[in-house]
Structure 1
Amino acid sequence: MLRLVVPLLCLAQPALAECRLALALAVDVSRSIDAQDYIIQTEGLAGALEDRDVRSAIFGPEGKVALAIYYWSGDGYQDLVQPWVILDTPEALDAAIWKVRLTPRPEAPLATALGDALRYGADLMAEAPDCARKVIDVAGDGRNNEGISVARTYEREDFTGITVNGLAVGEHELDLVRYFQEELIRGPDAFVEVAPRQTDYPKAIHRKLLRELQGPMIGALDSPGPEEG
């Protein structure tokens, strides 16, 4: 009997190391994001990834997390800050955090090509490690105003099995939360997190990462509604 049980135990071990989440963080660096906003976003994202609860969620027993980070603005402008990396050690996560902190703000003031940013995200996700869940986390403070529309992008590109969540920074445009809810988010358990002002970004990205890392419905009660703030 032991010869039957031991192989079964050995076969069960790799499942513990499987990738549970491929998470692509898409960060808006368009012309509405000034130098101060950029610092708030950069430090907010870096600080959230350094947070004890977020790190605990990343290195949980459920399986590994794969991370990619890209900045986006105008049509054809995407900067891959962090290519896909399996966060299997604290050092791997720390290296990604420093890439965020060391990436300079783009000098050219460009428009908000949200549709093109989504297309890039779909292509990036096609190169992701084989993970149980695939999530594109889009942070932005405005509607698409250049290039292909969000709706057209979803018509043309393959988003099968991909969830697109949004973080709406509502300081510059009215009804941005509704726009994100109706036009941007897509897929299983998609949601919109809200930062009423740019200064609320650090807390919002922290909530959003926890909710994405911990799985569907977790953290929903902690997220502020569109009217809060």
Structure 2
Amino acid sequence: MRKTLLCMASASFLIAATSYQSSACVDIALVLAVDGSGSISDEEYAFQKYAIAGAFRDRDVLSALKSANTVAVSAVFWGDGEFAAQRLDWFIISGGKGAEPFARATENNQRIVFGNTDIGSGIWSALDLLSDPRLCATRSVVNVSGDGKETTAPKRRQVASLAQARLRAEHMGATVNALVIADDMGDLASYYTKRVIVGANAFVMDVRTYADYSTAIKKKLIRELSSQTVATLLSGKNRPPD
């Protein structure tokens, strides 16, 4: 069954959404790059997508979306770089309105990704979306989640490495942030800090269990949707004393 699903993944998986036809630029373009590699069980995969959907129905996240003005949001579900990532289309949330269609599309996504933990390929797929000329976003953000390090085993064909994806993000002026699920890898947050994130005010958040994921993804989204000044304060670099 899993082999059949992997074969299906060789073609792009694009979920139809309200088409984005406006020529106006968006304030923030945000892609959630969600780990669907073999280390993620079906239950954990479902937990992630329902947690993301719930976050886009959360009052505080909706308030942050409203403050951010016009936000284009999409998602990629990535796994083995030998196969195409699953992608959602762009959804436009303006003044906090329009989040529900994205939440429903995320919930309804059916898994077809497995295999190696090819973080670079996942980020590359997110950057492909962010390169859409219709967006002309003021800020571009990749929100990547993962529970392991980049797979370094030999591959049958050339795929984007993590280093290549980070370099492309730099050239595009995109920020890559990370949410790490480090239940059995104590140094994973450090790895993501050194090897994954890149860009202005980039940050890593880590949780120990999937039970903490729902709360963390809400906090992460609020931080990413905040203004650059607020994001810097939240990063702790210029945090005022308690």
| Alignment check: 8 A CA contact 1:27 1:72 kept | yes
1:129 to 115, 125, 135: 135
In the TM superposition, what are the counterparts of 1:85-96 in structure 2 within 5 Å?
A: 85-88=91-94, 92-96=98-102
Q: Following TM superposition, where does structure 1 have runs of at least 4 consecutive aligned residues deviating by more than 6 angstroms?
A: none
DSSP-derived class of the 1:134 partner: strand
Identical aligned residues as a percent: 31
> What is aligned with 2:116?
111
In structure 2, relative to structure 1, the CA distance for the partners of 1:90 and 1:156 (3 Å cut) is closer
Give the drift of 1:117. Answer: 1.2
Q: Does 1:184 align with 2:196?
A: yes
| Alignment check: 8 A CA contact 1:167 1:205 kept | yes
Give the drift of 1:90. Answer: 6.0
Q: Does 1:35 align with 2:46?
A: no
> What is aligned with 2:60?
53
Instruction: Give the Cα separation in 2 of the matches to 1:91 and 1:19.
Output: 14
| Alignment check: 8 A CA contact 1:211 1:218 kept | no
> What is aligned with 1:74?
80
> What is aligned with 1:11?
none
Give the drift of 1:39. Answer: 2.4
Q: Does 1:206 align with 2:238?
A: no
More displaced 10-residue stretch of structure 1: 132-141 or 118-127: 118-127
DSSP-derived class of the 2:45 partner: helix
| Alignment check: 8 A CA contact 2:66 2:97 kept | no
> What is aligned with 1:171?
183
**Residue type matched to 1:56 in 2?**
S
> What is aligned with 1:10?
none
**Residue type matched to 1:102 in 2?**
N
Give the drift of 1:41. Answer: 0.8
Give the drift of 1:27. Answer: 0.5
Query: Deviations 1:165-198 (Å, cap 9, x if unpaired)?
Result: 0111101434110110000000100000111112
Gaps of 5+ in 1: 1-16, 222-229
Q: TM (normalized to structure 1)?
A: 0.80
Instruction: Give the Cα separation in 1 of the matches to 2:51 and 2:168.
Output: 33
For the pair shown, the structure with the greater C-alpha radius of gyration is 1
DSSP-derived class of the 2:115 partner: coil
Gaps of 5+ in 2: 1-23, 153-158, 237-242
More displaced 10-residue stretch of structure 1: 161-170 or 171-180: 171-180
Give the drift of 1:208. Answer: 0.3
Query: Deviations 1:46-86 (Å, cap 9, x if unpaired)?
Result: 111110010111122x5211111111000133000x21222
Computed over aligned residues only, the root mean square deviation of the Cα atoms, in angstroms, reads 2.1
**Residue type matched to 2:202 in 1?**
A
Instruction: Give the Cα separation in 2 of the matches to 1:41 and 1:196.
Output: 14
Instruction: Give the Cα separation in 2 of the matches to 1:46 and 1:63.
Output: 20
Query: How many pairs align?
Result: 202
| Alignment check: 8 A CA contact 1:122 1:158 kept | no
